[in-house]
Amino acid sequence: MTAFRSVIFNIVFYLNLAAFLLLGSVFFAAPRKWAIRALQAWARTSLWWLRVICGTRIEVRGLRNIPAGAILVAGKHQSFWETFAILPYLDDPCMVLKKELTWIPFFGWFIFKFRMIAVERSAGSAALRKLMARGVAELASGRQIVIMPEGTRRAPDAPPDYKPGAAALYATLGCPCLPLALNSGLYWPRRKFQRNPGTIILEFLPVIPEGLPRKAFQERLEEAIETATTRLVAEGRLQLGATVGVK
């Protein structure tokens, strides 16, 4: 039954995405903030379909930790799920994402409309400099800069692999950082169409204040995210009743 529901959900999910990209084309002529609100509405409908079809719910903890205004958000990355699930909880999110996504027709065009930050990971230091410059500009507009410090999806039990981008952004932006932990990989495994029933937990952790040395920040960020994620994954597995094999 889980496999059948997963197939149905994936069909509905991508049809819903296609409808948003086509019908939402009117937002190209609208203010960017309106387009962001439409994006957040799409995220909510996607979460609703996931709950209705697959029985996969969301529990959000630590909402009181989200400050108003501009901030750096750094989160665990276990699946595609969090790339849209966190959008409704931030006022004006600016996602750091790989440049290859901008090559997708319609989808890539909206990335430019939303003014997300596309990074060419193979460009090395040049990509890092561009990330810093764009981050400063978007933060000055009052936005929340969202980055996944590991750069790619990691299975729940994979050892952490934090890249320098988040720490470099933190040092350059000179703003606090909001860490984010989750256990989405148990329910929306990476590189699989399987969607497991249960409750995905998304937790906004206490803010890391500005002004820490880069190395100290990197260590504090990794400890905060990994400690909370380990706890949430264990909680998720207890809920599932058995270990979910995510490779």
In angstroms, what is the C-alpha Rg of the chain? 18
- Spell out the per-residue pLDDT of the chain, length 247, in tens: 899 999 999 999 999 999 998 888 888 889 999 999 999 999 999 999 999 999 999 999 999 999 999 999 999 999 999 999 999 999 999 999 888 887 777 778 888 889 999 887 766 777 788 889 999 999 999 999 999 999 889 999 899 999 988 999 999 999 999 999 999 999 999 888 899 999 999 999 999 999 999 999 999 999 999 999 999 999 999 988 754 444 3
Given this model, what pLDDT does residue 6 score? Answer: 96
Given this model, what pLDDT does residue 70 score? Answer: 96
The DSSP bridge partners found for residue 198 are: 56
Given this model, what pLDDT does residue 244 score? Answer: 46
**pTM score, whole prediction:** 0.91
Residue 209 DSSP one-character state: P
Strands (E), the chain: 56-61, 71-75, 93-98, 117-119, 144-147, 177-182, 198-204
- What does the domain layout of the chain look like in residue ranges? 56-240
Tens digits of residue pLDDT in 60-109: 999 999 999 999 999 999 999 999 999 999 999 999 988 888 777 777 88
Calculate the alpha carbon distances from 190 to 14, 22, 95, 209, 211 in Å: 16, 27, 19, 32, 35
Given this model, what pLDDT does residue 243 score? Answer: 45
Given this model, what pLDDT does residue 131 score? Answer: 87
Residue with tokens 């939303």: 114
15-19 long-range Cβ contacts below 8 angstroms, 24+ apart: 16/42, 16/45, 16/46, 16/49, 17/42, 17/46, 17/107
Asked whether the beta carbons of 134 and 111 are under 8 A apart, the reply is no
Residues 6+ apart with CB under 8 A from 184: 78, 79, 81, 82, 85, 200, 202
